[in-house]
Amino acid sequence: MKSVEKTSAVLLAFTSSEPRLTITQVAAKAELSRAAARRFLLTLTDLGYLRAEGTFFELTPRTLDIGASFMANLTLPRIAEPHLKSLAAQLDETTSLCILDRSDVVYVARVAAPRLPSVSINVGTRFPAWATSMGRVLLAGLDPAEREAHLATVQLQAFTDHTVSSVDQLREAVEQAGSAGWTIVSGELEEGLRGVAVPVWRDNRVVAALNVSVQRHRISPADIEREVVPLLQSAAARIGDDFGGRRV
């Protein structure tokens, strides 16, 4: 039993904020002697749960096997769906959950407004990330180097007269989304449509974007900030918590 406890302590020493650790760091975090920490680290490396790089160790994808059975029934879209339904009913608007896949946002969950019998956008639909509110909060959640690498590949297209016309404009919009914790894109992808999005956090990482789409004539930007954004942020926090992590 003691060996199981120590093995767990070694594995749990690795976190999202400290994914790479030395023997000395693991020993301190797991409350082991340096010699014992080294034995456990080498054994876990031999078993494929860790990899060594110089003096550092880090987890491998094989550690996911430990929770695979549990996680198989705990997918983000399934977790988000009841929150999307509740939000759609509250706002009488269509709500969506998107993730970033290379240069696109991909819809992974969507609930149509109760007043709309059908929608043209479905799960799996893609749009250029840079042109959407969801994409901009997701880009804001990347580390600076990743974000700049993404922006360097963007090929702007004038979908409407309101679409951003330069990468500098886009960079500013992404930075504002990160600072504010939400963003609105008005008529840039489709005339007359406003998209509002907030990030969904798991621990200290943005894993998705929660979005609501509204017609411009239905609500003003000021009312969106006052009435819609707080509801989006509250729903996003609940999704993140249910998905296994609270932002700290």
DSSP states of 32-76:
--HHHHHHHHHHHHHTTSEEEETTEEEE-GGGGGGGHHHHTT--H
Of 37-46, 114-123, 155-164, give the lowest mean pLDDT range. 114-123
User: What is the pLDDT at residue 147?
Assistant: 93
Residue 181 has pLDDT above 60, yes or no: yes
225-234: average pLDDT: 92
Q: How far apart are CA 8 and CA 3, in angstroms?
A: 9
Of 3-17, 80-94, 232-246, give the lowest mean pLDDT range. 232-246
Residue 245 has pLDDT above 70, yes or no: no
Could you give all domains of the chain from N- to C-terminal order, each with its CATH number? 2-69 (1.10.10.10), 74-242 (3.30.450.40)
Residue 100 has pLDDT above 70, yes or no: yes
Residue 192 has pLDDT above 60, yes or no: yes
pTM of the model: 0.66
